[in-house]
Structure 1
Amino acid sequence: MNKKPGYVFVWPISTRLIHWMMAFSFITAFITSFYEHLLHDHVALGFIFLVIIIYRIIWGIIGPRYATFNTFKLKPSELKEYFVEKIRNRWRKIPAGHNPASSWYTVWAIIVGTVIVVSGLLLYGVQEAKGVFRFLNDDYTDYIYLLEDVHKYASYLFFAWVVIHITGVLVEQFWHRTGMVFAMVSGYKKTEGEDTEVKSLLSFFAYMMIFMAIATYFFIISSNYNFLTLQKYTDIDYEQVHPVFYEKCGECHKIYPPYLLPEKSWKRVMKGLGNHFGEEITEANITKAQQASILAFLEENAAESSKREAAVKVMDSLEKWYPKAVTKTPYWRETHQDIPRSVFKQKEIKDKSNCIACHKDIDRGNLDDMNIIFHN
């Protein structure tokens, strides 16, 4: 017997919580993906999405009535009949469980969602050299752009699928008057059927997954680095690694990591010390021996020798032109093109070459996105 006459209890509270957590985690992760300095938050939200995808796959196998995959209506003929009836009969009865459209939506969302989280984890490891797949950075940086495209376009596809889903729910709510919007709030659908019942063990599993998703999120954002976000590269103490480079170059400006320019660019820089960005550097400033030592260090640690994201993308952006300044590389221009010129003229920045104003640890070789200082 149903608890509420004229309605069927379809979605238990755990299912409703998971549904809204999936919606929240995806939308907020999608928004944060457009802001480099929010990458850490993006990753934390992505892990909520990952845990929920895993939960939904398992729930589709062991879950209660209306939740399992064997109750889904996935025949093309059923989908066609569903839409024909939907157009023909405004007041048709709706099933208690998944209709053909929502069955296809759920399966498709799980597949595309899995592609999103797997490509995201791989991209995080290959491009950022962080997370559980950071070891892939050594050998697979050639796949950065492929992984970027897969992750990006799968996310766009999922977003489009969400819009279609919301549109369908609103049509049900306001045209067919089925009260569909409130079904995932109250758990009840205005239809015929048997109320669903969730066994204690299944409820325990569902709430454990909810707890795991939330706990993972707070575990990640509570610290910059843990085993889920640990990075392969550590800060470089250039004063210890190469004192001459640190002292002589650092006398006039904050030092730049050698991996930001290729060997040929560093050769141009060191050969042009007579007019070093408007300054004359003589042997009285840096002896020939010191110049040779600095150049050897720069060449040894230039962009060609690094697998860091910036180094790989700087090299990919160059053709046959080797600029003397990092700010002249196509990669730098592309990543900074949306920043208004007025920002670079602010008192605390003054010039676009003052990288440390926004990248606080660049003088230690650290260009981690989470270290970006955002200026309005």
Structure 2
Amino acid sequence: MNKKEGHVFVWPIGTRIIHWMMALSFTTAFITSFYEHMLHDHVALGFIFLTIIIYRIIWGIIGPQYATFNTFKLRPSQLKHYFVEKVQNRWRKIPAGHNPASSWFTVWALTVGTVIVVSGLLLYGVQEAKGLFRFLNSDYTQYIGILAWVHKYASYLFAAWVFIHIAGVMVEQFWHRTGMVFAMITGYKRTEGEDTKVKPILSFFAYSTILIAIGTYFFIVSSNYNFLTLQKYTNIDYEEMHPVFYNECGDCHKVYPPYMLPKRSWQKIMSSLDNHRGEEITEANITKSQQASILEFLTQNAAETSKREAAVKVMHSLGERRPKNITKTPYWRETHKDIPKSVYKQKKIKDKSNCIACHKDFDQGIMDDMNIIYRP
């Protein structure tokens, strides 16, 4: 006997919470993807999405009535009949479980969602040298572009599919008057059938998934680095690594990580010290032997030798060009194009070349997105 006359209890509370968590995690992850300094939050939200994807696949195998994949209507003839009936009969009866359209949507969403999270984890490891796949950074940076493309457009495809899904729900709500909008809020659908019954062990699984997803999110955002976001590269002590470079170059300005420019750029810089940022550097300032030592250090650790994200992208953007300034590289210009010129005129910044003003620990070789300091 049904608890509510004229309605069927289809979606248990755990399923409803997870449904909205999936919607919220994807939406917020999608939004944060447009902001470099929010990468840490983006990753944390991505782990919620990943947890729910895994849950839904398992739930589709062991879940209660109306939730399992074997109840899905996936034959093309069923999908065709669904849309024909939808057009011809405004007041047709709806099934208690998934109709052909929602069956296809669920399978498609899980497939594309899996592509999103797998490509995201791989990209995080290869490009950022962080997370579970950070070990791939050493050998697979040539695939950054492909992984980024897959992750980006799979997300756009998922977003488009969500809008189609919402449009379908709106049609059900306002044209067919099925009350579909409230089904995933109350758990009840206005139809015929038997109320779903959830075994205690399945309820435990659903609530555990909710707690794991939320716990993972807070575990990630509460600390910069943990086993899920641990980075391959750590701070570099340039003073210990090369005292001459650190002391002589750092006497006038903060040191620049050598991997930010290619070898030929450093050679150009070191061969034109008579006009270095408008200053003349002579042997009285830095001896010839010191200059030679600094140049050797810079070329040995130049962009060509590094797999850090900035180094790889600088080299990719340059082609045959070898500018003397980081701010002249296409990569720098692209990543800073949305920053108003007025920002660089602030007292604490003064110039575009003052990288450490906006990038904490820049002089220790760190270009981490979460270390970006915005000064609007």
**Same fold by TM (over 0.5)?**
yes
Alpha-carbon deviations, 1:311-366, whole Å to 9, x = none? 00111111221000100011111111111111111222111111011101100000
Three-state SS of the structure 1 residue aligned to 2:65 is coil
Amino acid at match of 1:272: S
Amino acid at match of 2:215: A
The corresponding residue for 2:199 is 199
The corresponding residue for 1:312 is 312
Three-state SS of the structure 1 residue aligned to 2:264 is helix
Question: What is the Cα deviation at residue 43 of structure 1?
Answer: 0.1
Three-state SS of the structure 1 residue aligned to 2:132 is coil
Q: Answer with 282-291 or 340-349: which moved more.
A: 340-349
Taking the aligned partners of 2:266 and 2:214, their CA distance within structure 1 comes to 47
Say whether 1:160 aligns with 2:160.
yes
Taking the aligned partners of 1:102 and 1:73, their CA distance within structure 2 comes to 9
Pairwise mapping of residues 249-268 of structure 1 onto structure 2 (< 5 A)? 249-268=249-268
Name the % identity: 79
Say whether 1:296 aligns with 2:296.
yes
Tell me, which stretches of 5 or more residues in structure 1 are unaligned? Answer: none
Say whether 1:104 aligns with 2:104.
yes
Pairwise mapping of residues 152-191 of structure 1 onto structure 2 (< 5 A)? 152-191=152-191
Taking the aligned partners of 2:24 and 2:181, their CA distance within structure 1 comes to 16
Pairwise mapping of residues 335-346 of structure 1 onto structure 2 (< 5 A)? 335-346=335-346
Question: What is the Cα deviation at residue 375 of structure 1?
Answer: 2.1
Alpha-carbon deviations, 1:286-317, whole Å to 9, x = none? 01010000000000000000000000011111
Taking the aligned partners of 1:182 and 1:250, their CA distance within structure 2 comes to 64
Say whether 1:139 aligns with 2:139.
yes
Alpha-carbon deviations, 1:49-96, whole Å to 9, x = none? 000000000000000000000000001111111111111111111100
Alignment length, in residue pairs?
376
Three-state SS of the structure 2 residue aligned to 1:133 is helix
Amino acid at match of 1:114: T
The corresponding residue for 1:82 is 82
The corresponding residue for 2:125 is 125
Alpha-carbon deviations, 1:194-216, whole Å to 9, x = none? 00000001111111111111111
Taking the aligned partners of 1:147 and 1:215, their CA distance within structure 2 comes to 28
Give the TM-score taking structure 1 as reference length: 0.99
Taking the aligned partners of 1:162 and 1:361, their CA distance within structure 2 comes to 40
Alpha-carbon deviations, 1:103-140, whole Å to 9, x = none? 00000000000000000000000000000100000000
Amino acid at match of 2:116: I
Amino acid at match of 1:144: I
Three-state SS of the structure 2 residue aligned to 1:132 is helix
Question: What is the Cα deviation at residue 277 of structure 1?
Answer: 1.6
Say whether 1:225 aligns with 2:225.
yes
Taking the aligned partners of 1:78 and 1:346, their CA distance within structure 2 comes to 64
Taking the aligned partners of 1:166 and 1:341, their CA distance within structure 2 comes to 41
Say whether 1:287 aligns with 2:287.
yes
Amino acid at match of 2:126: V
The corresponding residue for 2:42 is 42
The corresponding residue for 2:356 is 356
Amino acid at match of 1:220: I
Taking the aligned partners of 1:270 and 1:319, their CA distance within structure 2 comes to 21
Taking the aligned partners of 1:51 and 1:41, their CA distance within structure 2 comes to 16
Pairwise mapping of residues 37-76 of structure 1 onto structure 2 (< 5 A)? 37-76=37-76
Three-state SS of the structure 2 residue aligned to 1:349 is coil
The corresponding residue for 1:321 is 321
Amino acid at match of 1:295: L
Taking the aligned partners of 1:207 and 1:103, their CA distance within structure 2 comes to 24
Q: Answer with 81-90 or 65-74: which moved more.
A: 81-90
* RMSD, matched Cα: 0.6
Alpha-carbon deviations, 1:4-23, whole Å to 9, x = none? 00000000000000000000
Amino acid at match of 1:119: S
Taking the aligned partners of 2:12 and 2:329, their CA distance within structure 1 comes to 55
Which of structure 1's runs of 4+ aligned residues deviate more than 3 A? none
